[in-house]
Chain A
């Protein structure tokens, strides 16, 4: 065609959305009322900014310390009773190591001074450090020192509040402080069984021939 013989487009081509225009084809007539390409309805075009939802990334917990909380830590213990256990451990103070002892070995180790009964509480610090808090339980004589008595009480109370403990030598027990300013902790979604396995990875005594026991027996 002659490019210079042009006429203006039809009057209704005025640059505005025009719902009254007659459809050119049957397919066009069957078009849904909501036009998917309408840039004048941007709320429909919005994409999610929840990157985590599409990513499948989650934090892995590869280290769970088994330790008493530091005196500067604010801690909470898990309120779910299934996140604590009473069990037997072997504690090497010099090496600052605690070993989980298999139940079938308990009778054989009762005379071992480093062997004892502990409550293991799942706890978290205000900095988000997840750890197992071991607290000594009464031995076969049923006695418990005042330090561990107060620690057990703190661990029970800390299921719904942030507490901090600091040794008071004169008192023979822990001084306890409470903070109401800290937000509630976010507990990682990990089963207690897995926490235990992580915490005692490589530190589980399940045979009397274990190197630690051999060393304690002077056989190393």
Chain B
């Protein structure tokens, strides 16, 4: 009998069995995964199962124990758990996802070979799989059936190689894994599988019409939107964004715009996004620019059942947030496109988000009494202005809108580590005014500032920061104190969202998508109000766990069939696009042009 390879790892003693599991599956864009085969190996006994899908479907249940006595080990396991759902199996009670743990271990660091299984093996100096073979086997799985007997054997062998690789990786990684919290991350992978399976309902009629007429609409959209701006010029290649004309528009509208060290206007999307928050007039132009430069309508992953599904890419960002593909996910940067979200007949969706999540997290984790009081007031930004003595105690959002807006931008800017120059540019104020605002923040919330400084000190002295559930960021050679100061808000916000996803999906709520600080859920038309209440309770519970008892408020926006979801930031653009579609349907639209557009 072979020795137990895990005998020295006492952390695994509570588990009677430790199974490394991998599935091969077929999943065209927008579709749920269809399992092809499964290989599972119990590490202590060496017992190995190799099962093709027809054998899996013939079973009355999962072939491996999924209760709390078994540890299921995967690498980016939401795909495996998607196969569980396809097979009607339950989720494992204890799951350890080595992708999540490798991402946590190396967050903030450069991993020379990426964060895939090959990258993790290479990082740990373990023999890796043949990358070329991996690509060809993936292609075979994605091709779909029917498969010859030889292809089946090849896929099973390939699947078993991944399982063997997991078996090599686990003992090496165990020393760095904080198992209790790693299992919480594994729990989230089950929520991700459920969410990816649910997907977002799409208005297929409008989507298909858009795809069909996109080349025509694209040119006309420039004309329709640019009428308000006059920043595009037509040339032989189509329409181009003119920075000179944009500068003229900024002068006409009296909007101060950030510049690069060279003196040129900063024209990146982050700057547009930041400025659109302060100057709503910028919002539609930003939508147009992104639509013309980055959006590929055909990439939006919509399945045959009319639902948008894509890999949520859990734990991909430094803060542990999901990072799904901008072009495949309906909640990408083109916010107008979200108008395609529409529940089917008899159904409803609801968008629930935490109110002022980052401010609330900063208040609760720092324990700043003034900040907590500001959040409790219901309008923390107006409360900040009152606490700083900038507005009278009886000021309201209506009577002191300008002051409130200024203090709101300042409060958010501080959480992002913004300095006086950037804050001044955002608000169109002189650096002296911005400095005074920041001084008022420091003076009003001194406990927060000390806590935030301690977080940066911790990062610089120890080389890492962690969240309440142990997601960490490592401080590399290019340490950025501003992003380190922002990490506790962002990364604990991500923890909150993950926990809310777990609670909601485990309680049977159909979560269509997690979106930064929000959840899109779906229910029957008549049940949606009840489900919203249940989901809000789950979100409050998640906030209380992360913030040690402090609950964040939530907002809900319900959309019932035949209404559609519209994001306010993209509403004007959506109306222009659908207006053009309607004109096309009437035959009143202009000439079609396939010319390229340079945004």
Contacts and interface: CB of A to CB of B under 8 A. Distances in A.
A11 interface: yes
A9 interface: yes
A47 B470 contact: yes
Contacts of A49: 365, 455, 467-468, 488, 492
A11 B545 CA distance: 33
B180 interface: yes
A16 B184 contact: no
Given A13-B65, A35-B14, A38-B68, A47 B450 contact: no
B176 interface: no
Contacts of B457: 51-52, 55, 57
Given A15-B93, A57-B457, A45 B184 contact: yes
B67 A6 contact: no
Most chain A C-beta atoms within 10 Å of own C-beta, residue among B70, B180, B455:
B180
B458 interface: yes
Contacts of A111: none
Nearest to A40: B187
Given A47-B468, A55-B454, A9 B63 contact: yes
A183 B443 contact: yes
A6 B48 CA distance: 10
A96 interface: no
A52 B447 CA distance: 12
Interface in A32-61: 35-40, 42-43, 45-47, 49-52, 54-55, 57
Contact of B51 (A6, A39, A54): A6
Contacts of B69: 21, 24
Given A14-B90, A15-B92, A39-B186, A52 B181 contact: no
Most chain B C-beta atoms within 10 Å of own C-beta, residue among A31, A35, A43, A46:
A46
A182 B442 CA distance: 12
Contacts of B62: 8-9, 13, 15
A4 B50 contact: yes
Interface stretch (B53-61, B274-282, B325-333): B53-61
Contact of A45 (B450, B458, B469): B469
Contacts of B499: 42
Given A46-B469, A52-B454, A57-B457, A15 B66 contact: yes
B545 A52 contact: no
A168 B506 CA distance: 72
Contact of B443 (A6, A17, A182): A182
B123 interface: no
Q: How large is the interface on A (under 10, 10 to 19, 20 to 34, 35 or more residues)?
A: 35 or more
A161 to B, nearest CB: 16
B446 interface: yes
A170 interface: no
B179 interface: yes
Given A3-B49, A37-B180, A8 B60 contact: yes
Nearest to B457: A57
Contact of A37 (B179, B454, B467, B548): B179
Contacts of B389: 181
Interface string A147-184: 00000000000000000000000000000000001110
A28 B467 CA distance: 32
A15 B93 CA distance: 5
Interface in B463-505: 465-470, 488, 492, 499
A14 B93 CA distance: 8
B96 to A, nearest CB: 10
Contacts of B455: 49, 51
B59 A51 contact: no
Nearest to B542: A42
B94 interface: yes
A51 B458 contact: yes
B197 interface: no
Interface string B13-33: 010100000000000000000
A12 interface: yes
11 contacts: A6-B63, A15-B90, A15-B91, A17-B93, A36-B180, A37-B94, A38-B68, A39-B94, A42-B545, A55-B454, A186-B446
Interface of A: 1, 3-4, 6-18, 21, 24, 28, 31, 35-40, 42-43, 45-47, 49-52, 54-55, 57, 126-127, 181-183, 186
Interface of B: 14, 16, 47-51, 55, 59-70, 89-94, 179-181, 183-184, 186-187, 365, 370, 389, 439, 443-444, 446, 450-451, 454-455, 457-458, 461-462, 465-470, 488, 492, 499, 545-546, 548
